[in-house]
Homo-oligomer: A and B are copies of this chain.
Amino acid sequence: MKKEKIPQQQTITRTPFPASKKVYVKGQLHDISVAMREISLTNTKIFGSEGQVEKNASVTVYDTSGPYTDPEVEVDVKKGLPALRRDWILKRGDVEQLEGATSRYGKQRLANSSLDHLRFQYISKPLRAKDSLNVTQLHYAKKGIITPEMEYIAIRENQRIDVLNEQNPTLAHQHAGHSFGANTPKSHITPEFVRQEVAAGRAVIPANINHPETEPMIIGRNFLVKINANIGNSAVTSSIEEEVEKAVWACRWGADTIMDLSTGKNIHETREWVIRNSPVPIGTVPIYQALEKVGGKAEALTWEIFRDTLIEQAEQGVDYFTIHAGVLLRYVPLTAKRLTGIVSRGGSIMAKWCLAHHKENFLYTHFEEICQIMKAYDVSFSLGDGLRPGCLADANDAAQFAELETLGELTKIAWKHDVQTIIEGPGHVPMHLIKENMDKQLKECHEAPFYTLGPLTTDIAPGYDHITSAIGAAMIGWFGTAMLCYVTPKEHLGLPNKKDVKDGVITYKIAAHAADLAKGHPGAQYRDNALSKARFEFRWQDQFNLSLDPDTAREFHDETLPAEGAKIAHFCSMCGPNFCSMKITQEVREYADQQGVQEAEALRKGMEEKSKEFTQKGSELYL
């Protein structure tokens, strides 16, 4: 019966982050307000002074949590989020409002009154491109149009770094990164740069015209590395309200997109609830639902059923579809000698279909028809890697790379139709074989964004695969992957609960941010610097509030030193009150000030010469 309840407001997490407030930055080309999170900091007590303080400017961070963390915004999950993009879409004058859902299945579900009690109440009529028009961001970009979405993204990616650096130059220092030929602008992102990247196919903006609730975001190697969180019930567990809260919860901790992989009953209705309440793009794997429609029998799948499913979901507002069009009949036997065969669900569904009919994959043969549907709603392709390796032993094999080459061909076809496209990647790969995946993807897929699952760098740690995969994810993100699909601790074992979702998201934020730092993304290091300064100055609250998970940081600290006093104390539980390493550094600075650092530098160089001599003399230390 659990499944039958309608989401209740109170089940949705809305607490703002500590010491944080939502700020909205205005656009210049368009009338837009870009949401960000501003973390205010406490003052630094100047060591040894009579209560003198240094003011610490607040820090702005990228915020995927949507309106839920803004107490000013009233949210009613029964009504869904405000339609941020609605006017932008209509103003373009290239869409028409339909009378209602045009998919056979969509109509059926709507007509079925037994579903009324769990149906979203305010379903608006779907939009679709007028006749032969193309409404994709790629199409606009190629025509030289900078859409509101593009300006929103430029402002969002910059996170006011110019202002921050001006306010606090000491935190502006950042290591020059190594970006393997990515060409992120050195200082900040302009709307025109966003347009160029989208036009080149190097970046995508998942933005279905029927999902106006999304806050625009971009997936491309010259932008911040993004992460995706999978949610979804299955035949075994879960309920609608859990799904909505799971999505809100995942966004709260940093998910840039959500994939709804539901396979249970009522997934059509569940999806409506999730999309209407999601501030981030939603992706799906339509073949999963198509399979349910034919009772789970892969061989019973038809192009017509699949096509109807695409339209059903496109009209609900799904922003990107995983399509396993690269699983070709001739590739299937290449998996026969594998240790773990085909582990992608979509891949094995299509493999089974191909074998059963001894025909080519219908997703491949009907690919251009799929493009026609995608461009009418601006749904982006996520070309699935149905033959990805399921264990280290199968990594980088003939089957995997054969499919990747085909995905490259399909990318060209999608682009011919101005349909935005990203490419999915593995899987299980040992560290030393990760770069080959990235290099081959860039080459074969013409720099279309790469979207990888992990990769997991060892198979022996079920229960910890968020970690085995974060290692690979951080590396491949550095090498150029644009979006990382998270892995939770339950991978291979079961369905993630709320804690698992949070663990997976935080772990992947770490991997993505580590990649941004290594690539030298402009401003990426600012938050690290601010947090480290707070740590050094024993501003415990600021250290907690600047962290990816303030709640856990505070909780862990309090386990050892619960007293409020301890949070302003000039020592930490690791060393105890008697002695603290950081305190001493203050004295070093005073010493250096007397000496003058330059002088010390010179001194050092001189002494080095000496010490060289002295080792040559056989290192007699007491001459």
A residues with CB within 8 A of B: 170, 173, 175, 177-178, 234-237, 263, 291, 296, 298, 328, 330-345, 347-349, 351-352, 355, 364-368, 390-393, 395, 398, 402, 405-406, 409, 412-413, 416, 428, 430-433, 457-464, 466-468, 470-471, 474-475, 478, 489-490, 492-495, 497, 506-507, 509-511, 513-515, 517-520, 525, 527-529, 531-533, 535-536, 543-544, 546-549, 552-553, 555-557, 559-561, 572-579, 581-582, 584-589, 591-593, 595, 597, 600-601, 603-604, 607-608, 611, 615, 619, 621-622
Given contacts A173-B339, A495-B560, 5 further A-B contacts (CB under 8 A): A341-B588, A349-B579, A349-B584, A471-B474, A497-B559
A552 near B236 (CB under 8 angstroms)? no
Knowing A506-B464, A507-B464, the reply to whether A517 touches B392 (Cβ < 8 A) is: yes
A621 near B471 (CB under 8 angstroms)? no
Q: Which residues of B contact A351 (CB under 8 A)?
A: 584-585, 588
Q: Pick the most buried of A334, A474, A622: most chain B CB atoms within 10 A of its CB.
A: A474
Q: Which residues of B contact A430 (CB under 8 A)?
A: 175, 177, 514, 517-518, 525
Residue among B497, B513, B586 making CB contact with A460, cutoff 8 Å = B513
A549 to B588, CA, bound (A): 45
A235 near B532 (CB under 8 angstroms)? no
Nearest residue, chain B, Cβ from A544: B462
Q: Which residues of B contact A597 (CB under 8 A)?
A: 333-334, 336-337
A462 near B342 (CB under 8 angstroms)? no
Residue among B178, B510, B579, B619 making CB contact with A416, cutoff 8 Å = B619
Q: Which residues of B contact A578 (CB under 8 A)?
A: 235, 263, 296
Q: Which residues of B contact A296 (CB under 8 A)?
A: 578-579
CB distance from A206 to the nearest CB of B (A): 24
Q: Which residues of B contact A339 (CB under 8 A)?
A: 170, 173, 529, 532-533, 536
B464 near A587 (CB under 8 angstroms)? no
Knowing A495-B574, A506-B464, the reply to whether A600 touches B458 (Cβ < 8 A) is: no
Knowing A178-B432, A432-B178, the reply to whether A582 touches B467 (Cβ < 8 A) is: no
Q: Which residues of B contact A581 (CB under 8 A)?
A: 342-345, 347-349
B365 near A621 (CB under 8 angstroms)? yes
Q: Which residues of B contact A520 (CB under 8 A)?
A: 432
A151 to B546, CA, bound (A): 51
Q: Which residues of B contact A433 (CB under 8 A)?
A: 175
Interface of A is mostly: helix
Knowing A431-B515, A577-B235, the reply to whether A557 touches B493 (Cβ < 8 A) is: yes
Nearest residue, chain B, Cβ from A174: B393
Q: Which residues of B contact A615 (CB under 8 A)?
A: 409, 412
A347 to B585, CA, bound (A): 10
CB distance from A35 to the nearest CB of B (A): 20
Knowing A175-B395, A478-B432, A495-B573, the reply to whether A463 touches B621 (Cβ < 8 A) is: no
A234 near B573 (CB under 8 angstroms)? yes
Nearest residue, chain B, Cβ from A494: B560
Q: What are 7 A-B contacts defined by CB distance under 8 Å?
A: A235-B576, A336-B591, A336-B597, A339-B533, A349-B584, A463-B549, A495-B560
